[in-house]
């Protein structure tokens, strides 16, 4: 059994307050707003899958809920979905965009 390296399997994860997903010129971008913009200068560009994951996380969800939503929405197998989610979470956590 593969061990998930993220605590989020049973803990709720959520995008940090002060970061918003926007559509700019047909692209998905995450921008800092309010006080968060003082510490975070720039933006993060997301593909469609990244934007989907961001939207799920903005509501608050566990890893397993994120996985279920991904499998229901996209025609991917579980291993591929896990790989995509893990990569997204690693990047988002590295940028300090996720609360747990």
Place of tokens 């993220």: 6
Please answer whether residues 96 and 47 qualify as being in contact, where contact means their C-beta atoms are separated by less than 8 angstroms.
no
Please state at what angle helix 48-59 crosses helix 63-73, rounded to 10 degrees. 140
Tell me, yes or no, whether 4 lies in a domain.
no
Minimum mean pLDDT range among 15-29, 36-50, 54-68, 74-88 = 36-50
- Spatial CA neighbour of 7 closest among 64, 47, 48: 64
Structure tokens at 19: 């970061």
Residue 73, pLDDT > 60, answer yes
What per-residue confidence (pLDDT) applies to 4?
46
- Report how many helices (DSSP H) and strands (DSSP E) the chain contains, helices first: 4, 5
76 within some domain: yes
Three-state DSSP class for residue 93: helix
Number of domains in the chain: 1
Q: What per-residue confidence (pLDDT) applies to 32?
A: 82
In a domain, 2, yes or no: no
- Judge whether 34 lies within some domain: yes
The pTM of the full predicted model, rounded to 2 decimals, is 0.84
Asked, for residue 83, whether it belongs to a domain, the answer is yes
Is the residue at 1 inside a domain? no
Residue 100 clears pLDDT 50, i.e. is over it: yes
Q: Of the candidates 52, 6, 46, 2, which has an alpha carbon nearest to the alpha carbon of residue 27?
A: 46
């Amino acid at each position: 059994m593969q061990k998930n390296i993220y605590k989020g399997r049973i803990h709720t994860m959520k995008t940090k307050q002060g970061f918003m997903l926007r559509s700019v010129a047909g692209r998905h971008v995450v921008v800092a707003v309010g006080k968060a913009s003082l510490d975070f200068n720039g933006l993060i560009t997301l593909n469609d899958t990244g934007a989907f994951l961001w939207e799920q996380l903005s509501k608050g969800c566990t890893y397993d809920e994120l996985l279920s939503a991904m499998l229901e929405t996209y025609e991917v197998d579980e291993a591929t979905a896990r790989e995509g989610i893990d990569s997204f979470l690693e990047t988002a956590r590295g940028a300090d965009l996720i609360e747990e």
